[in-house]
Structure 1
Amino acid sequence: MSRPAAAAAAAWSLLFLLAFVATTGLPSRPPTGKEAWNYVEVRDGAHMFWWLYYADSQDLPLVMWLQGGPGGSGSGFGNFAEIGPLDGDLKPRKTSWVQAASVLFVDNPVGTGFSYTDRPDGYATDVATVASDMLVLLQHFFTERAEFQSVPFYIFSESYGGKMAAAISLELTKAIAQGMVKCNFAGVALGDSWISPLDSVMTWGPYLYTTSLLDDYGLKDVSSAAEAVKQAVEQQQFQKATELWSVVETVVEQNTNGVNFYNILTQEPDERRASVAEEDFISLQTRRHIRPLHGQSLSELMNGPIRKKLGIIPKNVTWGGQAEDVFSNMAGDFMRPVVDMVDQLLTAGVNVTVYNGQLDLIVDTMGQELWVKRLKWEGLPGFNGLRWTPLDDPTSPGVTGAFCKTYKNFAFYWILRAGHMIPSDQGPMALQMLRMITQQV
Structure 2
Amino acid sequence: MDRLQSHLFVLLVFATLFTRGQPSPQQGTEKWSYVTVRDGAHMFWWLYYADSPSADYKDLPLVMWLQGGPGGSGTGFGNFEEIGPLDRDLNPRNTTWVQSASVLFVDNPVGTGFSYTDRDDAFATNVSTVASDMLVLLRNFFTKMEDFQVGYTVRLNRAEKLCFYRPFYIFSESYGGKMAAAISLQLTKAIAKGSIKCNFAGVALGDSWISPLVPAGRPGLAEVNAVAQEVQDAVENGHFLKATELWSVAESVVERNTNNVNFYNILTQDTDEAVRLRPGDDFISLQFHRHVRRLHKQSLDELMNGPIRKKLGQIPDNVTWGGQSQDVFRSMAGDFMRPVVDIVDQLLSAGVNVTVYNGQLDLIVDTVGQEQWVKTLKWEGLPYFNQLRWTPLDDPASPGATGAFYKTYKNFCFFWILKAGHMIPSDQGAMALQMLQMITQQQTS
CA-CA distance at 1:274 after TM superposition: 2.4
Provide TM-score, normalisation by structure 1. 0.90
Partner of 2:232 in structure 1? Answer: 230
Superposed, 1:140-151 pairs within 5 Å as: 140-150=140-150, 151=166
Superposed, 1:70-85 pairs within 5 Å as: 70-85=70-85
SS of residue in 1 equivalent to 2:147 = helix
CA contact 2:20–2:29 (8 Å) conserved in 1: no
1:192-230 CA-partner distances (Å, limit 9, x unpaired)? 000000111011x14xxxxxxxxxxxx011111111101
Partner of 2:158 in structure 1? Answer: none
Partner of 2:30 in structure 1? Answer: 35
CA contact 1:355–1:414 (8 Å) conserved in 2: yes
Change (3 A) 1:93 1:322: same
CA contact 2:215–2:365 (8 Å) conserved in 1: yes
User: Which amino acid in 2 is paired with 1:142?
Assistant: F
CA contact 1:88–1:298 (8 Å) conserved in 2: yes
Is 1:316 aligned with 2:304? no
In 1, Cα distance between the equivalents of 2:273 and 2:116? 27
CA contact 1:124–1:326 (8 Å) conserved in 2: yes
Provide TM-score, normalisation by structure 2. 0.89
Aligned residue pairs: how many? 410
**Correspondence for 1:374 among 373, 376, 379:** 376
1:378-432 CA-partner distances (Å, limit 9, x unpaired)? 0001101110100000022210000000000000000000000000000000000
CA-CA distance at 1:27 after TM superposition: 11
Unaligned residue ranges in structure 2 (runs of 5+): 1-6, 22-27, 151-165
In 2, Cα distance between the equivalents of 1:417 and 1:266? 12
Is 1:406 aligned with 2:394? no
Structure 1 window deviating more from structure 2 (302-311 vs 30-39): it is 30-39
SS of residue in 2 equivalent to 1:288 = helix
1:124-145 CA-partner distances (Å, limit 9, x unpaired)? 0000000000000000000000
CA contact 2:10–2:90 (8 Å) conserved in 1: no
User: Which amino acid in 1 is paired with 2:75?
Assistant: S
CA-CA distance at 1:28 after TM superposition: 7.2
Partner of 1:187 in structure 2? Answer: 202
CA contact 1:163–1:193 (8 Å) conserved in 2: yes
Change (3 A) 1:119 1:386: same
Partner of 2:241 in structure 1? Answer: 239
1:43-91 CA-partner distances (Å, limit 9, x unpaired)? 0010000000001322000000000000000000000000000000111
In 2, Cα distance between the equivalents of 1:396 and 1:22? 30
Change (3 A) 1:344 1:176: same
In 2, Cα distance between the equivalents of 1:89 and 1:22? 8
SS of residue in 2 equivalent to 1:266 = coil
Change (3 A) 1:43 1:25: closer
In 2, Cα distance between the equivalents of 1:122 and 1:272? 32
Superposed, 1:42-53 pairs within 5 Å as: 42-53=37-48
**Correspondence for 1:282 among 281, 284, 290:** 284
In 2, Cα distance between the equivalents of 1:22 and 1:275? 39
Change (3 A) 1:31 1:410: farther
CA-CA distance at 1:20 after TM superposition: 7.8
CA-CA distance at 1:269 after TM superposition: 2.6
CA-CA distance at 1:23 after TM superposition: 2.4
Partner of 1:165 in structure 2? Answer: 180
SS of residue in 1 equivalent to 2:69 = coil
Change (3 A) 1:272 1:182: farther
Is 1:119 aligned with 2:119? yes
SS of residue in 2 equivalent to 1:133 = helix
User: Which amino acid in 1 is paired with 2:434?
Assistant: Q
SS of residue in 1 equivalent to 2:352 = coil
In 2, Cα distance between the equivalents of 1:145 and 1:123? 27
List structure 1 segments (4+ residues) > 3 angstroms apart after TM superposition.
Answer: 19-22, 24-33, 275-279
Superposed, 1:202-351 pairs within 5 Å as: 202-203=217-218, 205-206=219-220, 219-269=221-271, 271-275=273-277, 279-351=281-353
1:80-122 CA-partner distances (Å, limit 9, x unpaired)? 0000000001110000000000000000000000000001100
SS of residue in 1 equivalent to 2:85 = coil
User: Which amino acid in 2 is paired with 1:306?
Assistant: I
User: Which amino acid in 1 is paired with 2:11?
Assistant: T
User: Which amino acid in 2 is paired with 1:242?
Assistant: T
SS of residue in 1 equivalent to 2:351 = coil
SS of residue in 2 equivalent to 1:264 = coil
Sequence identity, in percent? Answer: 74
CA-CA distance at 1:278 after TM superposition: 8.2
CA-CA distance at 1:280 after TM superposition: 1.1
CA contact 1:272–1:287 (8 Å) conserved in 2: no
1:340-369 CA-partner distances (Å, limit 9, x unpaired)? 000000000000000000000000011101
1:24-56 CA-partner distances (Å, limit 9, x unpaired)? 568979999610000000000100000000013
Change (3 A) 1:278 1:305: closer
**Correspondence for 1:153 among 156, 168, 185:** 168
Change (3 A) 1:20 1:163: farther
Superposed, 1:38-117 pairs within 5 Å as: 38-56=33-51, 57=56, 58-117=58-117
